[in-house]
A and B are shown apart, each in its own frame.
Chain A
Amino acid sequence: MSTENSPIKPSRSPSVIESLEDFESQDTLLKHVDISIVESEKRANGTLHVRDHYTVYLIDLKVTDPDYKLVQSKISTIWRRYTEFEQIHDYLQVTYPHVVIPPLPEKRILYAWRKSDTTDPEFVERRRAGLENFLMRVASHPRLCFDDQFISFLQQEHGWRETITDSGYKLHAENKLKSLSVSIRLKKPDPEIESVKNYGKQLETSLGNFLYTRSKIIEKSYALCKLHASYGKLFSEWSVIEKDMGDGLQKAGHYFDSIADSIDSLAEDEEQLADQLKEYLFYAAALQQLCSNHEALQQALENAHDTLNNRVAERSRAAAGKGSLMSRLFGTTEPDLARDVATRALDAKLAADTHAIHHARAALQEFNKKALLEIEHFQKQKDKDLHESLVGFITLQVKAAKKNLQAWTQIKECLQNMP
C-alpha cells in the first residue's frame, strides 16, 4: 500500500461535493463490490484459558463489477477479530472528523434481560450481523469507502496491524481524547451545531429509554409465556386421571406448550431490532462527537484570535517603550534599540498570528461545509432507518399477539368441547 499515507490527508478523495444530491450520487465501494461476513470461528491463543479465546469473523469480498480495478482479486476472504474492527473504526474517527462515523456493534452487552456474555453463540451471531452492517455502512459512504487503510483492512492478510499502527492514528486519538475531556467553552457557539448536538443528546436519551423499557417488557413477556409451559404440564398430567375431560385437557395442554415455545422466536427477532436501535444509539454518540470536533476547531479559532489580541497589546506596549518585566527588572543598555528590536520581533509574531487565524478560519469553514452535508445525509438516513426499525417492532408485536390469540382461541374451543 502507499507509504505516504498520513492520517490527516485521506487519499483518493473524490470530487468536490456541494449538495446532498451530489453526495448521494457519488461513487461508493458498495456499488462495485459485495461485502459480507459469512461466518465466525473461535480461536485460542495457545493456552486453554477461557479468557484467551477470541472469535474471528470471515469477511468475504465479491467484486460484482467486472471492470473494477481497485480491489485486487475477484473474490477474497479474510479473517478479522473485533479488536481489529475497533482499530479501523478509531482510525476513521480520527481521520475524518467531519463525518458521522458508522458505529461498531456493542463491545459489552447493553440492556441485557437475561444472563449472557460475549461468548454466547447467539451473541456472536448478532455481532457478526452487526459487523457486516458496519462494513456496509462504511463501504456506502463516498468519502470513507476509498480510504487506503479501509481497503487494506478488507484485503491485506498480513501486516495490516503494523500498517495501521504506523499511521500513527493512535497518537492522534489519544490527543483528541485528552482535549475532549476538557469541556469546551465557546464564546460564540455555532447555533446550528449546538442544535445538532442537543438533538444528538436527546436521541441518545430517547433511544436509551426505549431500549430499557423494551428489555423490561420482553423479560416479563418471556416469564409469562414460560409460565404457560407449567399449564401445559398440569393439563397433560391431569388428562391422565380424567376419563371424559382427558381429551380436551390434553389438547389444551398442547396449545399451552405452543404458547410457551412461541416466545423464543419473538425474543430472537426483537433482539435483532434492538440491535438496530442500538446502532443508532451509538450513531447519536458519533453525531455528538462530530459536534465536538467542530467545537474544537472553533475553539482553535477563538484561541488564535485571543493570541492575536494579546500580541497586539504586547506590541503596542513594546512600541510605547514599556519593556518587558525582565528589562524593567534588570534594565536595558539601550532602550531605543531594544524597543525597536522588540517591536520588530513582535511584528513578525503578529504576522504569524494573523496567518494562524486565517488558517484556523479556513479549516473551520471547510469543516463546516463538509460536516453540514454529512449531518443532512445522516438525518435522512436515520429517519428512514428508525422508522423501519420501529415499524418492524410493531409488526413483531402484531405477529406475537396473533399467535397468542390463536392459541387461546383453540384452548377455549378444546375446553368447550369437553363434556
Chain B
Amino acid sequence: MASESSSAVLDTNDADVTDTEAPSVTDEAAESIPLIMEHGYDIAVKVDAPMKQLSTMETYVTYRVRCVCGRWQAPPHVRRRYNHFKVLHKRLAATHPFIAPPALPPLHSARQQLDRYSPAFVAIRTLALDAFLNRIAKHPIFTHSEDFRIFLTTPDEELDKIFKSENSALNLWGLSSALYGSTENKPTNGARVKDPEFIAAADYLLSLQQKLTTLCALTTKLHKGCSGLATELMSMKRTCDAWATQAGGAAGRAAAAVGAGAAGAAGGAGGGAGGGAGGAGAAAGGRPAALLPPLAATAAAHVDKIRHRDAVHAAYVAGNNTDELHNRLEQASEALRSELSDWIPKTRSEVKKLLLQLADRQVQVYTQTLQAWENALKLSTEADYGEIFKTVSRNAVHNLSPSKSGTPIFGTSTTEKDVEDLASSDTEKQDLSDIERDRDPLREFSDVDLSS
C-alpha cells in the first residue's frame, strides 16, 4: 500500500513483466506474505498493492493480483482494475446460470466518486476483491472456469483486448440470457411450488443477509464511537495536564494521574478504532466493513437463484412435464444444493473469523485501557513514592511494599513535569521500560530503606 501514494505510472501497458519488476520489488518486499497454498487446495490468490494509474483517457486504480497454481503456469503477478473484476463476475454468472458467483464490492455511488482514491476506500475495496477472488479460487466449480484462468494468467496488455472485445459480445449474451430467463420466470397460472427444502434455505439466506448487514452497520458505529471517545479522552488529558501544572500537592498529582490514565485509554480506544481509517495495511477495523456487505450481497444472490429454480419448478409443474424442463430442474436443484452446502459453511466460518477478530481487538482495547487506568491509580495513590519509583517497574514497587510515611528523597519541584512527561508519551509500558534502562533500580531501593 505504500506504493499507492508514491507512484502514478503513466504507461498503462505494463508490457514487460520484468520492467515492472523494479518498482514492484519494493512491493514484494513490503508485502512479505508469501503466497502459500492452503491444505487441500492447489491454488492460492491474493489481491493487494493498489496503485493509481494514469492513462490517456482516465485515471483509475489497479490492484496487483498474484497467483500460484498447480494447474497452469501463471505470471508472478498481474495488474487488474475493478472493471476487469466486473467482467469476470459477469462471465461467471453467465456461464453458470444456476449458481451465484461471489459478490463484488459495490460500485461507486455518486458521492463516493469524490472519495475514489481515499486510502480507506481503496483499502476496503482491496480486501473485498481479495475475498472475491479467493472465494472463486476455492470454489469447486468456479475454480476451473476458463474465464477465471484467463483473468489470472493473461499479461496485462493483452487482457484489455480479450476482455474489452468480449465485453460487447457479453452484452449481447447478457441480453439474450435476460430474455431467455424472463420467459422462464413468467409465473404460469396456478402452480405455486412448495419445496420446503428450498423455501427454508431461502428464508435462512434472507435472514442471514439481514443479520450480516446489521452486523456491518453496528461494527462501523462501534468504531466511530470508539474513535470519538478517544478524542474526548485526549482532551481530558489536556485539561488534566493544565490543571496539574497549576495545582500542586496531592490534588495536582491526582490530576496528572488522571491525565495519564486518559491518555492511555485514548491510545487503546484509538487503536481499536483506527484500523479502518487509512492505516497502511492495518485495515483490521475496516475488515468487517469490507467483507460483510459482499457476503450479504452473495446471500441475496443465492436467494435469487433459488427463486430462479423455483420458477423452473413452477414451469415444470404447470407445463407439460417435458424432459427438458425436468432436466433443467434437476440441474438447478443439484447445483443449488451443492452450492449452498459449500457456501454456507464457508461463510459461517468466515463470519466467525471476523467476529473473533472484532472480539480480539476489543479485548486489546480494554486491556490497554485497564492498564492505563491501573497505572494512573498507582501514580496517584503512591504519594511521594510515585515520584521516586516512577523509574522502577511496578513489580518492584509491589515487592518493596513501602510504608506510607516516607519522605521524598528527590526534589519535588519537578515532579509535576515528570509525571506529565510520563503522561505525554504514547504508551505506559514503553515509557517505563525506557526510563528503566537509564536508572539502576537497585540504587533506589537501598536509598529508601535507609531513610525509612
Contacts and interface: CB of A to CB of B under 8 A. Distances in A.
Interface of A: 202-203, 206-207, 209-210, 212-214, 216-217, 220-221, 223-224, 227, 230-231, 234, 237-238, 241-242, 244-245, 382-384, 386-387, 390-391, 393-395, 397-398, 401-402, 404-405, 408-409, 411-412, 415-416, 418
A398 B366 CA distance: 10
Given A227-B221, A415-B355, A387 B228 contact: no
Contact of B229 (A206, A217, A408, A415): A217
Nearest to B235: A213
Nearest to A231: B218
A409 B215 CA distance: 19
A210 B256 CA distance: 12
Contact of B366 (A221, A390, A394, A404): A404
A418 B350 CA distance: 12
Contact of B254 (A245, A387, A404, A418): A387
B222 interface: yes
A390 B258 contact: yes
B255 A401 contact: no
Nearest to A403: B366
Nearest to B253: A387
B225 A227 contact: yes
A398 B359 contact: no
Contact of A382 (B243, B251, B363, B377): B251
Contacts of A415: 352, 355-356, 359
Given A387-B254, A415-B355, A221 B370 contact: no
B204 interface: yes
Given A234-B218, A383-B249, A412-B363, A398 B374 contact: yes
22 contacts: A209-B242, A209-B243, A210-B255, A213-B236, A217-B229, A217-B232, A224-B226, A227-B225, A386-B255, A387-B380, A390-B254, A390-B255, A391-B257, A394-B258, A394-B261, A397-B261, A397-B369, A404-B366, A405-B367, A405-B370, A415-B352, A416-B356
A402 to B, nearest CB: 6
A241 B207 contact: yes
B229 A220 contact: yes
Most B-side CB within 10 Å, residue of A212, A224, A390:
A390
B144 interface: no
B394 interface: no
B362 interface: yes
Interface residues of B, number: 52
A227 B352 contact: no
Contacts of A382: 251
B360 interface: yes
Interface of B: 203-204, 207-208, 211, 214-215, 218, 221-222, 225-226, 228-229, 232-233, 235-236, 239-240, 242-243, 246-247, 249-251, 253-255, 257-258, 261, 265, 348, 352, 355-356, 359-360, 362-363, 366-367, 369-370, 373-374, 376-377, 380-381
Given A221-B229, A223-B225, A390 B257 contact: yes
Nearest to B254: A390
A393 B226 CA distance: 20
A216 B265 contact: no
Contacts of B246: 202-203, 206
A224 B223 CA distance: 9
A411 B242 CA distance: 39
Best-surrounded residue of B211, B225, B356, B370 (most CB of chain A within 10 A)? B370
Contacts of A401: 265, 366, 369-370, 373
A408 B207 CA distance: 25
A397 B233 CA distance: 12
A220 B246 CA distance: 28
Given A209-B242, A397-B261, A397-B265, A227 B366 contact: no
A387 B367 contact: no
B207 to A, nearest CB: 5
Given A210-B236, A241-B207, A391-B254, A227 B218 contact: yes
Given A241-B208, A401-B369, A405-B369, 9 more contacts: A213-B239, A221-B229, A244-B348, A386-B247, A387-B249, A387-B251, A390-B258, A391-B254, A404-B366
A198 to B, nearest CB: 10
A383 B253 CA distance: 10
A384 B370 contact: no
Given A220-B228, A394-B257, A383 B250 contact: yes
Contacts of A217: 229, 232-233, 236
Contacts of A209: 239, 242-243
A56 to B, nearest CB: 35
Given A395-B377, A398-B377, A224 B251 contact: no
Contact of A220 (B218, B232, B242, B355): B232
Contact of A387 (B218, B233, B250, B374): B250
Contacts of A242: 348
A213 B237 CA distance: 9
B340 to A, nearest CB: 14
Nearest 8 CB-CB pairings of A with B: A390-B254, A386-B251, A405-B366, A206-B243, A387-B250, A401-B370, A412-B359, A224-B225
B416 to A, nearest CB: 13
Nearest to A256: B218
Contacts of A203: 246-247
A123 to B, nearest CB: 24
